[in-house]
Chains A and B, each alone.
Chain A
């Protein structure tokens, strides 16, 4: 128990030194000292509850993904049938119950149609995205598979995360954290004093831009009543547009999407100087846009953003340059925001804010200062009590306790962990455990001495007997911490992280290190009696 060969001592000291050194940058930043830039600076992140900032939890509307896939599948199927040689006539297309079904008019075409559908349903990846079946000889039914939906959701969430990333960086948010959580959630965290409203306005906008032809044949009375003619859809005008409150019918298919953009800037209309957004299509988008405008000169088309019509201008002449101007009752600010959103791409899904927490930076700074002072006073008093209770042994315990704090901070810094308020509770718990370990050991040594054991064997016994309870107590705490980490959320997780780190370091400092120091002192002085 008390045997520490030289190699072991060197090893323990170097481990201690390395870990404790890693806490210095964090200590420096907490106390306001500037850390030299040329040195590495692993530091503990302060959670939003301590440092201030915004935390926004977004959830995606997953039902949309199915509907979108169904719609694009319908387009693909129609195109494939139309462009076949000779073309295959289909009818009775329906997208009810989340399935796409249609009939091939001539039974002779069924095999050919199946050939054409196979590459569409199998997709590009490893999973089969749709299951294909033929009923009543000529009716095809395409049902999306669960794997296909899951994969699509996963992909959509990944790209949503990228889009948010680009948007947030575009407004110069400092050190944002954007992570996916679970299947359909994204967490956005922005530390410090930043405008959470601007952040949310930017994230909340799906920015799905569509250009669709206006259905000129729809009766105004039908449109007002919400009855769309076959092949058309009814859209409301945006609240900010001059036609707010009105509705318009547009052709469902054959429009183009605004996702082939290379640029979008806020500008001003040359005629009336109102804010507009200028967009530039990429080559493919420009070609599509040119075709749409060439084929439909003198007809109006609707510019639709996130399901709301901004405006429905007339196509006066074909637009071949690949640029367009969007107006719709913007302010400079909202035009600017839309430009950023369009530049960074549309969100593949609508995101809803389901949790939002903002902490003012003043409160955070006050909390930290008050918390640190209080913890400093408390720890100081404990150190004094330990020293006056156990003398030399108390002093060893004190040094171990201070090193324990440094080690916890060092490990957290290297792991880039985040300290939150509940984390501080975890800190207090592990410090308590460290104190308790030394109390257990020292009380046991006292007891063994009282029974008349010689110094060396009393100390050895003290460490051995006390270690059993310390071991059991810490293992149970680790078990609890692991479960909390696995099942807990947010703050509870932060608590668990500190607890696990703290339990490991406190056993190391309170048991192993003090034992080494006591053993060294025994070897050097060989005392006949100890004051404990």
Chain B
């Protein structure tokens, strides 16, 4: 059987030649993402801002009658609802602020949900209420804080581990690559205004996981080559490492995309935002491993002998004995 080879054996692409322009592009993308997040804002779901979300499906209809729904709900006097289609055309979510005073009187939120679903059922006989989420301001700010905290802590802990296993430059490089990935993902959500809820936090964590996988594979090869080719200039060595791991990069990411694309198109609507983020993250993560994590090593001053004295005991002892390293 003739086996598939996605990347020819003698591939040698000069990735690092383009490191400066790509780095500039990355910087612009990061800045643009944050500008979008700050000025346009994320479409934060009730998980993070509090409020009530009611999900509806109009069974047997081609699409959800959003304008009429808005009219029906506005008549109840709870303010203007945010109504969005999600997933299929006949599915819509309604988002409301919690009524005044509901922090002390939870009944008010209940009554609001009852009245809205009641009015919808009366005006639209085919409607199915798929779910109601009520999150108080107290809980939402906690969810926001713990979500952010766990994200930051895990990024820092990961960098420390990489620093210990490799060198400090690698830790910084990985942290930067992760920052790049998270920034671009946030920018994507600000741009598309897809709803940003707790599930998206899980998606960002998945992206961090994949991106890190890529970064570590490239770094591992750099570490190996630094030990093997002590005379090779660092840019050349980085190119070699990226090229050597290229067939793996392509194969793994292709597999992941193959697994995700059906989920994107045929999966449940509730998974769409999450799957879209992860799919984007695969591209962003691979790119950042090659164009952020690797070139940063040059600028942070990784030397050809960086690993000679740190990786294993006997080597270090030997070098100390030869007087090359100070204890």
A residues with a Cβ closer than 8 A to B are: 49, 57, 59, 197, 200, 204, 352-360, 362-363, 366-368, 370-371, 373-375, 377-379, 381-382, 385-386, 388-391, 421-422, 424-426, 428-429, 431-433, 435-436, 439-440, 443, 446-447, 450, 465, 468-469, 472-473, 475-477, 479-480, 483-484, 486-492, 495, 499, 531-532
Residue of A whose beta carbon sits closest to that of B166:
A472
Contacts A436-B252, A480-B205, A532-B3 given; does A356 touch B134 at CB 8 Å: yes
Given contacts A378-B260, A385-B254, A443-B247, is CB(A421)–CB(B199) below 8 Å?
yes
Complex Cα spacing A368 to B263, Å = 12
- Please tell me if the beta carbons of A473 and B205 are within 8 angstroms of each other in the complex: no
Q: Does B248 contact A (CB under 8 A)?
A: yes
Closest to B259 in A: A378
A363 with B55: CB separation less than 8 A: yes
B154 interfacial by beta-carbon distance below 8 Å: yes
Expressed in whole angstroms, the Cα–Cα distance for A495 and B208 within the complex equals 13
A-contacting 9-mer, from B32-40, B138-146, B181-189? B138-146
Q: Is the CB of B213 within 8 A of A436?
A: yes
Known contacts: A366-B268, A373-B266, A385-B254. The answer to whether A477 contacts B6 by CB under 8 A is no
Alpha-carbon separation in the docked complex, A200 to B271 (Å):
29
Q: Are B130 and A360 in contact (CB under 8 A)?
A: yes
**Binary flags per residue of B187-202, CB closer than 8 Å to A gives 1, else 0:** 0000000000011011
Give the residues in chain B near A477, CB-CB below 8 Å.
Answer: 209, 212-213
The majority secondary structure among interface residues of chain A is helix
User: Is the pair A484, B1 in contact by a Cβ cutoff of 8 Å?
Assistant: no
A393: nearest residue on chain B (CB-CB)?
A: B3
Q: What are 9 A-B pairs with beta-carbon distances under 8 A?
A: A200-B110, A360-B131, A378-B260, A432-B256, A439-B248, A439-B255, A469-B217, A476-B158, A492-B205
> Any chain A CB within 8 A of the CB of B270?
yes
One digit per residue, 1 when the CB lies within 8 angstroms of any chain A CB and 0 when it does not, for chain B 153-181 equals 11001100110010000000000000000
Instruction: Give every chain A residue within 8 A of B198 (Cβ-Cβ).
Output: 422, 490-492
Which of A358, A359, A479 interacts with B154 by CB under 8 Å? A479
A353 touches B106 (CB 8 A): yes
Main secondary structure of the interface of B (DSSP, over half): helix
Within 8 Å of chain A (Cβ to Cβ): is B114? yes
C-alpha gap A356/B136 in the complex (Å): 9
Determine whether the beta carbon of B212 is less than 8 Å from that of A476. Answer: yes
Q: Name the residue of chain A whose CB is nearest to the CB of B140.
A: A355
Residues of A within 8 A of B268 (CB): 366-368, 370-371
Task: Count residues on chain B whose CB falls below 8 Å from chain A CBs.
Answer: 78
Contact between chains at B220 and A492 (CB < 8 Å): no
Q: Is B13 an interface residue (CB 8 A)?
A: no
- Given A432-B252, A490-B143, is A388 in contact with B4 using a C-beta cutoff of 8 Å? yes
- Given A357-B132, A421-B199, A487-B149, 11 new contacts (CB under 8 A): A57-B139, A370-B268, A375-B263, A422-B199, A425-B278, A433-B213, A472-B165, A476-B158, A476-B212, A480-B208, A491-B198
Nearest chain A CB to B75 CB, angstrom units: 23
- Binary contact track B245-281/A, C-beta < 8 Å → 1, others 0: 1011001101110111111011110110010001000
Q: How many whole Å from A187's CB to the nearest CB in chain B?
A: 11
Beta-carbon contact of B143 and A479 below 8 Å: no
Contact of B213 among A370, A386, A422, A473 (CB under 8 A): A473
Contacting pair B147 A492 (CB below 8 A): yes
List 6 A-B pairs, minimum CB-CB distance, nearest first: A422-B202, A378-B259, A367-B268, A469-B220, A363-B130, A480-B154
Q: Choose one: B130, B134, B161; the contact of A479 (CB below 8 Å).
A: B161
Interface residues of B in 200-222 (CB under 8 A from A): 201-203, 205-206, 208-210, 212-213, 216-217, 220-221
The digit string for B114-143, where 1 denotes a CB below 8 A from any CB of A, is: 100000000000001111111110110011
CA distance A422 to B147 in the complex (A): 13
Q: Which residues of B have CB within 8 Å of A366?
A: 268
Contacts of B157 in A (CB 8 A): 479-480, 483
Known: A429-B206, A487-B146. A476 touches B216 (CB 8 A): yes
Q: How far is the CA of A105 from the CA of B56 in the complex (A)?
A: 70
Chain A residues, CB < 8 A from B147: 488-489, 492
Q: A367-B270, A476-B161 are in contact. Are A495 and B205 (CB under 8 A)?
A: yes
| A367 vs B271: C-alpha distance when bound (angstroms) | 8
With A447-B244, A480-B154 in contact, is A425–B3 under 8 Å at CB? no
The reply to whether A388 and B3 contact each other, CB–CB distance below 8 Å, is yes
Which of B109, B212, B220 counts the most chain A CB atoms within 10 A?
A: B220
* Residue B100 at the chain A interface, CB threshold 8 Å: no
A435-B256 in contact given A483-B150, A492-B205 (Cβ < 8 Å): yes
Q: State A531–B4 Cα separation when bound (angstroms).
A: 11
Residues of B within 8 A of A426 (CB): 202, 206
Indicate whether B89 reaches chain A with its CB closer than 8 angstroms.
no
- Chain B, 55-73, contact with A by CB distance < 8 Å: what is the 0/1 string? 1010000000000000000
* B251 and A480 within 8 A (CB): no
Closest chain-A Cβ to B204's Cβ sits at a distance in Å of 10
Q: B104 within 8 Å of A by Cβ?
A: yes
The residue from B133, B153, B256, B263 contacting A357, defined by CB atoms under 8 A apart: B133
* B199 x A352 contact (CB < 8 A): no
Partner of A495, one of B132, B202, B245, B247: B202
A391→B3 CA distance, assembly (Å): 7
Query: Interface centre among B138, B258, B268, by most A CB within 10 Å?
Result: B268
A362 to B202, CA, bound (A): 24
CA distance A129 to B160 in the complex (A): 45
Q: How far is the CA of A468 from the CA of B312 in the complex (A)?
A: 14
Contact residue among A379, A421, A472 (Cβ-Cβ distance under 8 Å from B259)? A379
Whole-angstrom CA separation of A495 from B268 in the bound complex:
18
Distance between B140 CB and nearest chain A CB, rounded to angstroms? 8
Q: How far is the CB of A337 from chain B (nearest CB, A)?
A: 15
Q: Is the CB of A371 within 8 A of B153?
A: no
A232 and B255 CA atoms in complex are apart in Å by 76
- Residue contact A355 to B135, C-beta cutoff 8 Å: yes
| Residues on the B chain within 8 Å of A367, using CB | 268, 270-271
B318 within 8 A of A: no
Residues of B within 8 A of A390 (CB): 3
- Residues of chain B contacted by A446 (CB below 8 angstroms): 247
The 8 Å CB contact of B6, one of A389, A429, A475, is A389
